[in-house]
Amino acid sequence: MPVDIPIWKNAVPISILLVFTFVLAILGCVISDFTYFASPNVAFSQSDTKLVNLNGTDSEIKQQDMPPEKVRVGDIDIAYRIFGNGEPILLVSGASAGIDGWDPSTLRSLSSNHKVIVFDGRGVGNTSMGSKPFSIQQLANDTAGLLDALKIQKANVLGYSLGGHIAQQFAIKYSDKVNGLILIATTCGGKDSIPKPH
């Protein structure tokens, strides 16, 4: 006897993903259309001030082609990249995602008027695991240590998914380092959170 499984249960997560992707694409188009944001798409690293074009054609070097820099933060070496010009914005990735997990068009849009900082979190990609136990607080401490090591006093912080949890904890404990907080596809957790419907 066949089992009738409602199709809508599988379609809800896909619908959310499609809406999120559409919103990011529209945001990128809107930002890039304003003259205020229309500065050249360039990248640089801490040790090499050579500018790199990020417009994304095959003949140009892309952000993912730049080798990451590393800096010592507590018990780990954090791999990171910095590119763009303007007010700093720190991007905190979701679980097991790192430097190369961000959409290139989003990075291009952000880097047109921000100094974008992307990094591999503890135990991800090119960042070492260290000896301290993993926790949201420890990952927030690592994030604060990265800004200190890069001599960046304040930044806008964008957290995606698990990175949203880290960004919230970072904003609570290190509020003096936060200009603004942007949370995407995340929750506050705890008893006050509202879980997604099943």
pLDDT in tens, 26-71: 545 444 443 333 333 333 333 333 334 444 443 334 666 788 999 9
Q: Which of 105, 161, 175, 193 is catalytic?
A: 161
**pLDDT, tens only, 115-136:** 999 999 999 999 999 999 999 9
Between residues 38 and 185, the one the model is more confident about: 185
pLDDT in the model for residue 187 = 87
Whole-model pTM: value is 0.68
Residue 161 falls in the annotated catalytic set? yes
Give the CATH superfamily of 7-184.
Alpha/Beta hydrolase fold, catalytic domain (3.40.50.1820)
Helices (H), the chain: 7-33, 104-111, 136-149, 162-173
Q: Are strands 76-83 and 114-119 parallel, antiparallel or unpaired?
A: antiparallel
CA nearest 89: which of 187, 25, 167? 167
